[in-house]
């Protein structure tokens, strides 16, 4: 094995065995030293995943900070296995809907939830954020009245209007 020495760290390449270099049919393997610094992977902020209640509090706080309108939380326990809670809220315009969704995403990422799925960001008529146990729907007013998700998912008494970050459906 041919070895080239430079300051830094050594990288090894594999050798194709059975042929000589004179035949030109094999590549020589060399140890190459890289001068690039070693790349460190940052550790996650917390190794504990947020539970549904903490995720809901974070989402409601972010929506309240960004002036979301008509925020409703719907308890899905016993109704569906896709999530524990659904949050439905309204933004005044496409730009407001996009900034609400972006704020929620930044808050979830800062809390260590990196596996959040998002749909609808390019158009911002209806943005869906799937944070695992909590699903967030951010609508423009016209789109929200057209789809009327609250009527479809909420039974009598299981939906509540959120006032700030403290109120959510717990029926």
| Predicted TM-score (pTM) of this structure | 0.64
What does the block give as tokens for 30? Answer: 């060399």
Kindly state the average pLDDT of the residues 84-101.
94
Query: Residue 127: CB partners within 8 Å, gap ≥ 6?
Result: 97, 98, 100, 101, 118, 119, 120, 121, 137, 138
The ranges assigned to domains in the chain are 1-38, 52-161
| Each residue's pLDDT tens digit, 121-139 | 888 899 999 998 899 999 9
Kindly state the average pLDDT of the residues 155-163.
54
Which of 27-36, 45-54, 119-128 is the least confident region? 27-36
CATH 3.10.20.30 fits 52-161, yes or no: no
For 62-71, letters b (16+ CB in 10 Å) and e give bbbebebeeb
Please give the Cα distance from 111 to 49 (Å, whole number).
9
With cut-offs at 50, 70 and 90, classify the pLDDT of residue 101.
Answer: very high
Residue 151's pLDDT is what? 86
Please tell me which residue, 152 or 32, carries the higher pLDDT value.
Answer: 152
Please tell me which residue, 124 or 159, carries the higher pLDDT value.
Answer: 124
């Amino acid at each position: 094995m041919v070895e080239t020495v430079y300051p830094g760290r050594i990288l090894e390449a594999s050798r194709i065995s059975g042929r000589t270099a004179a035949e030109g049919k094999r590549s020589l393997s060399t140890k190459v030293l890289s001068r690039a610094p070693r790349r460190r992977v940052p550790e996650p902020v917390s190794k504990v995943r947020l539970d549904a209640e903490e995720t809901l509090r974070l989402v409601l706080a972010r929506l309240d900070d960004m002036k979301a309108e008509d925020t409703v939380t719907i308890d899905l326990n016993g109704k569906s296995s896709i999530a524990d809670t659904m949050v439905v809220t309204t933004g005044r315009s496409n730009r407001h809907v996009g900034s609400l969704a972006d704020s929620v995403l930044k808050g979830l990422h800062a809390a260590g939830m990196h596996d959040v799925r998002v749909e609808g960001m390019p158009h911002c008529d209806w943005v869906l954020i799937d944070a695992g146990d909590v699903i967030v729907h951010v609508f423009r007013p016209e789109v929200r009245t057209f789809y009327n998700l609250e009527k479809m998912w909420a039974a009598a008494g299981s939906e509540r209007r959120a006032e700030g970050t403290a109120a959510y459906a717990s029926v």
